[in-house]
Amino acid sequence: MGCFRCAGKSSKKSNKHINRSQKTNKPTVADKAKFDSNVKGKKEDSSPKPDQLSLDVKHLNLKEVSNEGKVNCYKARTFTFEELVVATGNFRADCFLGEGGFGKVYKGHIEKINKDVAIKQLDPYGHQGIREFVVEVLTLSLADHPNLVKLIGFCAEGDQRLLVYEYMPLGSLEKHLQDLPPGSKPLDWNTRMKIAAGAARGLEYLHDKMKPPVIYRDLKCSNILLGERYHPKLSDFGLAKVGPSGDKTHVSTRVMGTYGYCAPDYAMTGQLTFKSDIYSFGVVLLELITGRKAIDNTKSAKEQNLVAWARPLFKDRKRFCEMVDPLLEGQYPVRGLYQALAIAAMCVQEQPNMRPVVADVVTALNYLASQKYDPQIHSAQRKGAYSPSTGSNSHGHRPGNGSVSRARSDAHGQSTNSGHETKFNSQVHSAHSSRNGASSPRMRSNGHSSGSESESSTKSLSSSRLRSDGHGHFASNGSDSDGLGD
């Protein structure tokens, strides 16, 4: 616009000069045509400046996440800062939704698209910056999945950087687990498994479906947003990183993420793999089961770190019920609890090559989410817990509703985990439907058992694993395990 205004002012001066010259030499038709072509030529030469996002990508050298540097392919629309000021009523206090590492988030309504939106404004003094803003725009512009939050648009104008998302009316998972307002109803077991399965599907899309594949790097409860009927969506992709390709097994990068969710192998070496996300997911699943925070400094030293607190409990089935969120008030399926704990235990193993691939986590959790628990039907569930001595099932499931076969560690149903008094294969069941014969999910990893103490508890909890070879070994999937393990 500035170039055009300059051309207009120049045109007026030229007209005055022509009027003076009319006293002596009257301009011909050819002269007028020549003048008009000169003015038009100036307009055509004034090519528009590149948009701010393209300049940011060029400046930050982010070609690897921008479709080889071509940022004109992004699907998100651009908004002016003035439009977003209007949408939020000049960022009124009553529109404020929350604040994170990126900056403050406001609810707004954009008239031209007639939608309620969430607008995140970059704090120039915050923990994240323009790089995270650009990565978020580029990542979500290439993504399309029902379990990823939708980026509607963005604003990159001067020093202002804002992101415009679809509005998620139920807020974050963290709000419903750890920051539950007084009098609010806690999440029931079915909803928790639904959220876990949906979050896993979103992660699977990033790892296995996106081109190039993406490592999330910041999976945590506060980044799982909930829509109508508690439909979960992953959000906040500012720390996302393109995963390793070809013969590379990892991406070397500075350690970033959230304490308590960050995989120990990544924290120690800076080597980022897809299995780093699996560890974070395991922490989230433990939070869903226990209602505890990943890090809680209000608890005693032994209980402050959720994973460190849970590991010894994984070894003793008599204490599994101690791990359940007290807010559930005993309303959960014992069998489902054991299977959910098995998934979580495998995800948080210290050795990355012993963690399952995300596709197997999705399969297992989809199955758990499909097994609806009804507290009215299973009112005798507390009496029906498995007997520690016999492992018998008496918790109220009707025989015709689904037969259950026990998960085994070897071909003869014996556990290969020597040295532990209790064996998980008498507790966790790889259930299958007696009606359709569909086998229950089992988890697989890409490593073999080493027998070490750090792995033995999670080995015993791995009874619900996928495609076990029947001899206590984990079957490799031939892709993620070979290409991404450390």
138 pLDDT band, cuts 50/70/90, is confident
- How many CB atoms are closer than 10 A to CB 126? 15
Q: In terms of Cα–Cα distance, which of 290, 284, 288 is closest to 325?
A: 290
Q: In terms of Cα–Cα distance, which of 215, 202, 235 is closest to 102?
A: 235
Euclidean distance between the first and the last CA atom of the chain, given in angstroms as a whole number: 54
What number is the average pLDDT over the span 278-290? 98
Active-site residue set: 218
Give 141-164 pLDDT, tens digit per residue.
889 999 999 999 999 998 899 999
Where is pLDDT greater, at 187 or 130? 187
Give 27-38 pLDDT, tens digit per residue.
555 555 444 545
Residue 87 predicted with pLDDT over 60: yes
What number is the average pLDDT over the span 110-121? 95
Amino acid 382: pLDDT:
54
Amino acid 126: pLDDT:
64
Has 275 been labeled as part of a binding site? Answer: no
Look at 182-196, 325-339, 452-466 and tell me which has the smallest mean pLDDT.
452-466
Where is pLDDT greater, at 376 or 40? 376
Give 250-275 pLDDT, tens digit per residue.
888 889 889 999 999 999 999 999 99
pLDDT, mean over the chain: 74
Give 403-415 pLDDT, tens digit per residue.
333 333 333 333 3
Amino acid 132: pLDDT:
85
Domains of the chain: 52-166 (3.30.200.20), 173-484 (1.10.510.10)
Residue 427 predicted with pLDDT over 60: no
Amino acid 466: pLDDT:
41
Residue 39 predicted with pLDDT over 80: no
What number is the average pLDDT over the span 204-210? 95
Amino acid 351: pLDDT:
95
Amino acid 238: pLDDT:
86
Residue 221 predicted with pLDDT over 70: yes
56 pLDDT band, cuts 50/70/90, is low
> Which tokens go with 37?
């072509």
Percent of the chain whose pLDDT exceeds 90: 49
Amino acid 55: pLDDT:
56
- How many CB atoms are closer than 10 A to CB 253? 14
Give 347-394 pLDDT, tens digit per residue.
999 999 999 999 999 999 999 999 999 988 875 555 554 444 444 443
